[in-house]
Structure 1
């Protein structure tokens, strides 16, 4: 069952999985930058939910595909190099592309799955390393395909034969089992947000349950803010070109209220939707002279952590569904969801939906 045809057929789908993961990963990386190189759209509201879900699903599907592909070519690792200079150069180029491809692919898949489980047994920064190695993986795929293209074209042009009865499993059986394994892996890790499939998502990092029907990554206790949330002296400080104001919960509730159905979509690939209610960010920014072209920086009561503040680009600020939320599912925010108020905006990574907000600063661009 080993051979060129098995490797080529599995390789095509592995290439598709890598391409989807690479493209959606670039979008996720750009979405997490304070100032993306290109303006990202604020609509549709579920754009990040879809792209990041595809990213994790494609990475998960790539695991069994990569294992089968490596199994199919393993004997070739021990083939003696050719003696002719030109053939030897092609052979060495092929081996180099394989080493880059396997090394970067294994790194991306292992660290990506560990990130999904929020397990970081390393000292380097995950985001930067994952982004850098994504380019290495993409380049090695292109190089490997270029070197092996004649073999791939020949192998894909031949039919996947059936094995005669009684002679053992066929290549077709192997390929079918590979596709099935990839599908099961995707469902088992990524289907927790699908109501009908939650019970079979055995490897999902979130169950879909949580306070007010929405799961959380970091609790108020974990963020060391639990003792600050019910302070009657709490005020939201809003700063901008027109000065500064401080708003109590009563002041925020006295402003025009708006409701929106928006998802929390996290980089780990899980997502959950809720009905959020609160004050539009653009209305709060307007209190201190914020205009249509101004960004907003939102800061949390958290004193530690990479995401204790986030920058909301102007087009997101002006979107009518970008809120400083006070309620979820018709009730005041649970402490773990950001009480007394939190940022919730369409099409944003969950790590940038800042909780336990203490300050909003209008940034004139």
Structure 2
């Protein structure tokens, strides 16, 4: 089945194999490497889902073994043939190491763990526990010792219903913490949507920007990140935190989120941001109902078509409580780990978590299961 000639084409890698099974299938031509085989111990996909969207709605789709892709592609229009080549190249292409300042890089030979430090009084899971600089620094050092590859520091809660804080307040929360951690070997990301905070944090020693608005909230953020030549995580969110859970609606949540992130990537590239500095996050829980979150989690591999590393943030989130009937965020470790493993099985490169030690243990075991 083929979509209309003016429809948009999407590709999703499916049917994943790992370890020696993946290597053998790739050698025999029955599988292709995802992201050059970098993720974990090497992920390969055996199937490709081909989907067409026309006038905002999915109109046709088919799932084929990789060995049948060539014959299928030959029957497409020249435009769709070119799109298939482009998307397959982005799905299979090696992701360059992530530059993190002072000669440091993050490689993709294993799933990366980003540890959360909320220097806020009102974050949904640990609000108030680390809202003083000394407590936040101690917590960050504990996360580093537990195995965090990145420490993510934020001074403004973006939980559902959260109110905006002043720039001055956000700066007063995060900059002292970054100052005290900057000399450590673990890179720091600044979780902010405000350009002044980003600039001050990068000046204090942060290396990565993590923006829930995908550089769309602050008009100065795009230019700043381009000038600083630093990595940036572009997240999808519908509306702002104070109202984002007020009856979120999508035509097709998977395609809508993909299209938004693709558009933000294009804006960043046009502004002069290096593609090697770009990462995406589908924004689980940010303007999504339970069914939206489940649709995204079941299809995380869809976002590899964007050609950049994918970050997943599911730790302790409310959808886990809804699925497991657990009202306390701090008691959702098992659900967080289950969701994280599901992400790794689809090639997610970064997992953003509260529980670093437990996540590292899960990762180490997961990596060794199929050598």
Q: Same fold (TM over 0.5)?
A: no
Q: Pick the structure with greater CA Rg.
A: 1
When the two structures are superposed, what TM-score results if normalisation uses the length of structure 2? 0.21
Q: Which one has more relative contact order, counting CA pairs under 8 Å at least 6 apart? A: 1
> Relative to total residues, which structure has the larger helix share, 1 or 2?
1
When the two structures are superposed, what TM-score results if normalisation uses the length of structure 1? 0.21
